[in-house]
Amino acid sequence: MRTAYKVRVYPTEQQAAVLNRTFGCVRLVWNKVLAWRHARYHAEGIKTSYAETDRYLTELKRNPEFAFLFEVSSVPLQQTLRHQYTAFVNFFAGRARYPRFKSRRGRQSATYTRSAFRWRDGQLWLAKMDAPLEYVWSWPDVDPTTLNPTTVTISRDPDGRWYASIAVDIDDPEPLPATGAAVGIDLGVKDFAVLSTGEKIPNPRHLERKLRNLARYQRRMARKQRGSNNWAKARVKVARAHAKVRDARADFLHKTTTRLVRDHDVIVIEDLNVRGMVRNRHLARAISDSSWGEFRRQLEYKAAKYGRRLVVIDRWHPTSKTCSACGHLLAELSLSTRHWTCPSCGTRHDRDINAAKNILAAGRAVSACGADVRHSGSSRVRSAVKQEAQPVRAGIPRL
Ligand SMILES: [Zn+2]
C-alpha cells in the first residue's frame, strides 16, 4: 500500500526561486487546461480526455509566448494534468466540487515523480537544483535513508511554510485483531457523528474557536486598503488562522477515524452526496466544516490498512424515518424533530441514534448477502455499495 510522510522543508534562496517558478508554471498549465476544458464542454458538449490535455500541453509549449515553461522540470506540469483529470473523475462521480482555478495567493504545489528527483542516503535532490533540500524528519522509528519514495510533492502554504509530502510504497501492515464489534455512523450537523452504540461525537470546540478567530481576521483584512502594507500583514494573519483551522480539523478527523477503525471490525456509513448537499446553503457551512468527504476517505484507507470492513450504504435508505426496533416507517419526520416515539411499538427514539442503528442494520444486510460488497486484493473489503470504480487518489494519506 501507499503512504506518505509530510515534512517541513527549508529551501535555500535558489531553491525557493526554482520552486516558485515551477509553481507558477504548474498554475498556468492547470488554469489554461481548465479553461480550455470548460470552453469545449460548454461550446461542444465534449468531455476532454487525459491524452487530449497532454497534446494541448505540447502545443502550449510550442507557443513562443510560453517558452518559459521549458525553464522548469516538465514532470510537475505533466502531473498537474493527471491531478486535474482525477479532479474531474471525482466531480463527475459526485464526490467533489467542480475543479477551481488556482490562485497565486492560495496553496501552491508541484509533484515530482522518480524521473525528476533523487533520494540518496535520505537526501532529497529535485530537478534543476544544485543542492539537496533541507527538511526536518519527525518519525524517530523510521529511518529516512531506507525509504524508496515514488513521488514527492512540494507545497507552500499561503502563510509561507514549505512542505514535502514523500510518498512511499510499504508492506501491508498486519490486520488488527478482531473485536467482534460493528458500528453504524450517522453523520450530522449538530454533532459531527452519532454512533449506533448511542455515543455522540461532537464537533470539536477548539475548532469552533479557531473558526471564529479566522472570521475575525478576515473581517480585519476586509477593512484594509487592498494591496497596502497593512492589508498584506492582515493577509498573512488570515493565512495563519486558516492553517490552524486546517490542522485542527485534520487532527480531529485522524483521531476519530483511527479510534473507529481500531474498535470495530465492521463500520457502516451512508453514501452522502457531498456535492448535492453543499449546494444547500443552510447545511453548507456545517458540512464543509466537518469535512465528511475527508472523514470517509480516511475511513476507507485505514479500514483497508488494518483489514477492517467499511460498508457504504445507499443514501436513499430512509434511515431517519424507520423505527430501528420494529421497522415501522414514518410518513414524515421534520429536520427539527430530535426525538420521536414509534406509533407501532412505542419505542422512544433519539433521531440520530435511531438513524445510526438503521445504518448499521442496512450495512449488516448488505455484507451478509455479500452481493454488493466489492473485494479488493485478498479478502479485504475496501468499500462500498453502489459506487463507481475508485479512481487513483490525488491525495495520499498523511501519517
Ligand atoms: Zn417501532
Please indicate, yes or no, whether residues 145 and 191 belong to a single structural domain of this protein: no
Amino acid at 81: L
- The reply to whether the predicted model has a pTM over 0.85 is no
**Which residues make Cβ contacts (< 8 Å) with residue 258, sequence separation at least 6?**
302
Does the residue 374 lie in any domain?
no
Please indicate, yes or no, whether residues 161 and 281 belong to a single structural domain of this protein: no
| pLDDT at position 374 | 39
Please indicate, yes or no, whether residues 143 and 201 belong to a single structural domain of this protein: no
| Distance, C-alpha 344 to centroid of its chain | 42
Strand 117-120 versus strand 162-169 pairing type: unpaired
Hey, is 383 helix, strand or coil?
coil
Q: Are 349 and 186 in contact (CB under 8 A)?
A: no
**Cα 283 to ligand 1 centroid, rounded to whole Å:** 29
Domain residues for the domain of 45 are 2-169
Kindly provide the b/e burial profile for residues 321-334, where b requires at least 16 CB atoms within 10 angstroms of the residue's own CB: bbbbeeeeeeeebe
- Of 141, 169, 197, the one marking the end of a domain is 169
Please tell me the total count of domains within the chain: 2
| pLDDT at position 279 | 56
Please indicate, yes or no, whether residues 266 and 326 belong to a single structural domain of this protein: yes
| Maximum separation of any 2 CA atoms in the chain, in Å | 77
Please indicate, yes or no, whether residues 363 and 259 belong to a single structural domain of this protein: yes
Q: Are 28 and 56 in contact (CB under 8 A)?
A: no
Does the residue 234 lie in any domain?
no
**Cα 245 to ligand 1 centroid, rounded to whole Å:** 42
Clarify whether 172 is annotated catalytic.
no
**Cα 184 to ligand 1 centroid, rounded to whole Å:** 19
Residue 261 and residue 318: Cα distance in Å, rounded?
25
Give, in degrees to the nearest 5, the angle at Cα 81 between 77 and 84: 130
Q: Which of 134, 171, 186, 208 is catalytic?
A: 186
Please indicate, yes or no, whether residues 292 and 315 belong to a single structural domain of this protein: yes
Clarify whether 289 is annotated catalytic.
no
Does the residue 37 lie in any domain?
yes
The CATH number of the domain where 194 resides is what? Answer: 3.30.420
Residue whose C-alpha cell is 477503525 = 261
| pLDDT at position 246 | 82
**Which residues make Cβ contacts (< 8 Å) with residue 120, sequence separation at least 6?**
none
Please indicate, yes or no, whether residues 270 and 306 belong to a single structural domain of this protein: yes
**Cα 360 to ligand 1 centroid, rounded to whole Å:** 17
**Cα 140 to ligand 1 centroid, rounded to whole Å:** 54
**Cα 190 to ligand 1 centroid, rounded to whole Å:** 24
- Of 142, 169, 196, the one marking the end of a domain is 169
Peptide bond just before 384 cis, omega within 30 deg: yes
Bridge partners of 166?
5, 152
Q: Which of 208, 263, 352, 372 is catalytic?
A: 352
Please indicate, yes or no, whether residues 186 and 124 belong to a single structural domain of this protein: no
Residue whose C-alpha cell is 521549458 = 70
**Cα 379 to ligand 1 centroid, rounded to whole Å:** 37
Does the residue 385 lie in any domain?
no
Residue 358 and residue 306: Cα distance in Å, rounded?
25
User: How does DSSP classify residue 356?
Assistant: H
Clarify whether 265 is annotated catalytic.
no
Angle between helix 50-62 and 74-92 (nearest 10): 140
Does the residue 55 lie in any domain?
yes
Does the residue 223 lie in any domain?
no
**Cα 331 to ligand 1 centroid, rounded to whole Å:** 13
Residue 168 and residue 153: Cα distance in Å, rounded?
12
- With a cut of 70, list the residues of the chain below it in pLDDT: 273-290, 367-399
Handedness of CA 28, 149, 393, 299 (dihedral sign): negative
Helix, strand, coil in percent for the chain, rounding step 5: 45, 20, 35
| pLDDT at position 286 | 56
| pLDDT at position 102 | 96
Does the residue 46 lie in any domain?
yes
Please indicate, yes or no, whether residues 149 and 249 belong to a single structural domain of this protein: no
Q: Are 80 and 111 in contact (CB under 8 A)?
A: yes
Q: Which of 265, 270, 271, 300 is catalytic?
A: 270
Please indicate, yes or no, whether residues 157 and 188 belong to a single structural domain of this protein: no
Please indicate, yes or no, whether residues 250 and 303 belong to a single structural domain of this protein: yes
**Cα 333 to ligand 1 centroid, rounded to whole Å:** 14
Please indicate, yes or no, whether residues 133 and 189 belong to a single structural domain of this protein: no
